[in-house]
Chain A
Amino acid sequence: GESVGLHLPTLSVQEGDNSIINCAYSNSASDYFIWYKQESGKGPQFIIDIRSNMDKRQGQRVTVLLNKTVKHLSLQIAATQPGDSAVYFCAEIFAGNNRKLIWGLGTSLAVNP
């Protein structure tokens, strides 16, 4: 499953499928990007990060892709599991903003068993 358009708040996938969560970022000067997972009743949890001099980074079951030409970031989750159900936020950082996190709108991922 894939979140189409960059403002779709909910993505529903079947357990075992791959998920793709998309994010548009705002500043071409941003040099660092992070994906966070937030489960119900918890704070955001770091998933994976990528610097602007890279276009792909892989973690355990997750891959982040960065397309600087169109200022687009995506998070791919392989073999999605029920425990992946959460809200996913992208965030960007650039030096000219006191290195504060600039958050995306978030996508709610629901995994159906």
Chain B
Amino acid sequence: DTEVTQTPKHLVMGMTNKKSLKCEQHMGHRAMYWYKQKAKKPPELMFVYSYEKLSINESVPSRFSPECPNSSLLNLHLHALQPEDSALYLCASSQDMEGSMRGYTFGSGTRLTVV
């Protein structure tokens, strides 16, 4: 299995809702990443987990809460989002942070719309 699987593919949520994005990989990768991507822009790094511990938080607002239950799963919990948070949310994984070169594998993303 050489894929990163993200669910759901599309999500529409209200500003008072709580929802979660899920990401799964079975490549044995020990670093996992959340990125946010606006239309026609490059991805922006949000969080990095290394060996199931949060390693990097790029000053992301607390309405985004990451969780890494085990080495294969990564979640992003969403609460009280704003319309400007609407974007494509990408999950990626790599062998580890030091090996994060060719080994970056991206999922297809969750298209989030906040209404």
Contacts and interface: CB of A to CB of B under 8 A. Distances in A.
Interface stretch (A64-72, A76-84, A96-104): A96-104
A45 interface: yes
Q: Is the interface of B mostly helix, strand, loop or mixed?
A: loop
Interface residues of B, number: 23
Interface residues on A, range: 20 to 34
A42 interface: yes
A35 B105 CA distance: 13
Interface in B79-115: 90, 92, 97-98, 100-102, 104-109, 111
Given A46-B105, A99-B100, 18 more contacts: A32-B101, A41-B109, A42-B108, A43-B92, A43-B107, A43-B108, A44-B106, A49-B101, A93-B100, A93-B101, A98-B55, A99-B98, A100-B100, A103-B42, A104-B42, A105-B41, A106-B41, A106-B42
Interface of A: 9, 32, 34, 41-46, 49, 87, 89, 91, 93, 98-101, 103-106, 108
